[in-house]
Amino acid sequence: MNIVLTGFMGTGKTAIGKHLARSLGMRYIDTDRIIEKKENCSISKIFAEKGEKYFRELETRIIRDVSSFNGYVISTGGGAILRKENADALRKNGYLVCLKADPDTILDRIGDGEERPLLRGFANKKLRIQQLLKKREPFYRQADIMIDTSSLSISRVVEELVKLLSAETLQVRLDKNGYPVFVGLTIDNIGKIARDFKLGKKVLIISDRNVFPLYGERVRYSLEQCGFKTFFFQVPPGERSKSLTWVRKIYSFCLECSLDRSSSILALGGGVVGDLAGFVAATFLRGINLLMIPTTLLSQVDSGVGGKVGVNLPQGKNLVGAFYQPKFVLIDPVVLRTLSLKRLKEGIAEVVKCAIIKDGDFFSYLEKNIQRILDKNLFVLRSVIIRAVRIKIGVVEKDEKEKIGIRQILNFGHTIAHAIETVAGYRRYTHGDAVAIGIIGASKLGVKLGIFPQESFARVEKLLKMAKLPLKGKNLDTQQIIQALKKDKKVREGKVLFVIPEEIGRVSLKDDIPVNLVKQVIEELVV
């Protein structure tokens, strides 16, 4: 992971960048200094002799190169992110931090400004600064974090950044199998973390064919640098890999690798990989170590934490499984940069679920920040992940194995969602789309039962719409969905259990909802 500093001239990018790198034990580079060294002359002279166009092309090539580095604090020129390709490259593998300052402070810091190519020759330097700031403001707003340095010392800015960027460790406290969840650490730390646990030297990495090419070699390298021997097994991406057929194939590979009870399985991927790898770890040799690196928002806030593992049967989802806790979970928000909008929305549905069941203030935060989530603002995503995981942990700690019913509230929206996925053959709807429709269905039931206010329903509907999630399903048979509901794993003595909202932040369990009312809502959900 890199930390990239951008912002207008005079905001402190170089001085702060050097200090920040020392504080975090990272290496430091300045793209302007690289350019000057390459051209053997100053930025000002490059502008004067070769023009701004030449400089910007050279800057883009340098940024393309340094963006492939890892573990650097990178200071960029003030105009670097005006080019989309530069911004995309810099954001791909790190946090983008914009340093701000007011025009008077900038003018005071840069002196007469004649050494600055974009200010040279202008009589009213302050007016010129204001004009440039106005033009660049939309580009600077792309940053994950913005800090105004006008009245802050270098050390104070660095202190604030370290606090904002520091990893957070959340602890799952269980009677026997508690474990840490590291949020904010890069996946390149996996070897050092694993080394601190009492694990055998063999680690089988289970991933899918989309994720492993992106991150597999980095994970293997980190583990092998710390003395582990690694193997890897890739499955096709998608829900259909979460089956007993693939479980048997992985069992055979485990035997080929001579894994023993001290060995570990590392799940590198989204919810499907986590469930599948977790089930294999829980059952091979009656249980071996499980390590988790969830790489989608969905798996980071939901399936990657809590210890539910399992696979599907043709008759329904997650019908074969176990409760099996990992040794630790590592959540790196930076990997979400490569996530498609489709997969990002899957996770948003689960985040909305968490807010509705337990935290009304969190729901309000989502209403205010949904666009920043869609824009993959890493600071907002990190905050969202931490809040959602805390909710999940709080529920799991009270009811690890769903024995007293508390944990069932995590299935809010999922009863209808699983039925939709089953009827659609796990192909036509992503899990997130199905959960969004299920949330609407459960909320409608709450309104019709008279326990969920209409204005609260409208807020839920609006937030899901803002998140670009569906509110209804298409080309689904009502009767087939009702039949699938009856096969849900939460059915008790023939009664279908629904999680129904009473207000945003509080839900209740209902197993006595009239069939006709359920049918009515299902009919409203499918078109």
Q: Does residue 333 or residue 490 have the better pLDDT?
A: 333
Question: Average pLDDT for residues 360-380, to the nearest whole number?
Answer: 95
**DSSP characters over 164-204:** HH--EEEEE--TTT-EEEEES--GGGHHHHHHTS---SEEE
Angle between helices 244-256 and 271-283 (to 10 degrees): 60
Structure tokens at 24: 């975090």
Residue 493 lies in a domain: yes
Query: What per-residue confidence (pLDDT) applies to 492?
Result: 61
Report the C-alpha gap between 334 and 67 in whole angstroms.
Answer: 13
What pLDDT digit, counting tens, does each position of 402-423 carry?
888 889 999 999 999 989 988 8
Question: Average pLDDT for residues 303-310, to the nearest whole number?
Answer: 93
Q: CB pairs under 8 A, 24+ apart, for 34-38?
A: 34/62, 34/66, 35/59, 35/62, 38/62
Confidence of residue 248 (pLDDT cuts 50, 70, 90): very high
Query: What per-residue confidence (pLDDT) applies to 493?
Result: 57
Report the C-alpha gap between 369 and 349 in whole angstroms.
Answer: 14
Of 306, 339, 372, the domain-final residue: 339
Query: What per-residue confidence (pLDDT) applies to 489?
Result: 61
What pLDDT digit, counting tens, does each position of 41-99 carry?
998 889 889 998 999 999 999 999 999 888 899 999 988 989 999 998 998 888 999 99
Report, in angstroms and rounded to the nearest whole number, the Rg of the chain calculated over CA atoms.
26
Q: 117 with 178, same domain?
A: no
Residue 371 lies in a domain: no
Nearest to 211 by CA among 270, 262, 126, 289: 270
pTM value is: 0.85
Whether residue 217 is predicted with pLDDT greater than 90 in this model: the reply is: yes
Instruction: Specify the range with the lowest mean pLDDT, choosing from 5-14, 226-235, 316-325, 419-428.
Output: 419-428
Report the C-alpha gap between 89 and 86 in whole angstroms.
Answer: 5
| 388 contacts 294 by C-beta, under 8 angstroms | no
Residue 427: which domain range? 401-525
Q: 216 with 271, same domain?
A: yes
Q: Residue 26 maps to which CATH number?
A: 3.40.50.300
Nearest to 249 by CA among 214, 216, 219, 279: 279
Residues with Cβ within 8 Å of residue 368, at least 6 apart in sequence = none
Question: Average pLDDT for residues 496-523, to the nearest whole number?
Answer: 93
| 405 contacts 509 by C-beta, under 8 angstroms | yes
Rounded to the nearest 5°, which phi and psi values hold at 388?
Answer: -65, -40
Query: What per-residue confidence (pLDDT) applies to 494?
Result: 64
H or E element that contains 293? strand 289-294
Total number of domains in the chain: 3
Confidence of residue 363 (pLDDT cuts 50, 70, 90): very high
Query: What per-residue confidence (pLDDT) applies to 48?
Result: 87
Q: 10 with 65, same domain?
A: yes
Confidence of residue 167 (pLDDT cuts 50, 70, 90): confident
Q: 194 with 277, same domain?
A: yes
Q: 120 with 196, same domain?
A: no
Confidence of residue 526 (pLDDT cuts 50, 70, 90): confident
Q: 105 with 251, same domain?
A: no
Residue 95 lies in a domain: yes
Q: 137 with 203, same domain?
A: no
* Average pLDDT value over all residues in the chain: 92
Q: 82 with 185, same domain?
A: no
Report the C-alpha gap between 393 and 397 in whole angstroms.
Answer: 6
Q: Residue 263 maps to which CATH number?
A: 3.40.50.1970
Q: 331 with 274, same domain?
A: yes
Question: Average pLDDT for residues 500-520, to the nearest whole number?
Answer: 93
Query: Pseudo-torsion of CA 411, 417, 421, 422, nearest 10°?
Result: 70
Residue 368 lies in a domain: no
What pLDDT digit, counting tens, does each position of 335-354 carry?
998 899 999 999 999 999 99
Rounded to the nearest 5°, which phi and psi values hold at 353?
Answer: -55, -50
Residue 101 lies in a domain: yes
Q: 157 with 255, same domain?
A: no
Q: 310 with 217, same domain?
A: yes
Q: 156 with 175, same domain?
A: no
Residue 369 lies in a domain: no
Of 165, 199, 214, the domain-final residue: 165
Residue 362 lies in a domain: no
Residue 367 lies in a domain: no
Q: Residue 472 maps to which CATH number?
A: 1.20.1090.10
Query: What per-residue confidence (pLDDT) applies to 325?
Result: 96
Of 132, 148, 165, the domain-final residue: 165
Question: Average pLDDT for residues 418-436, to the nearest whole number?
Answer: 87
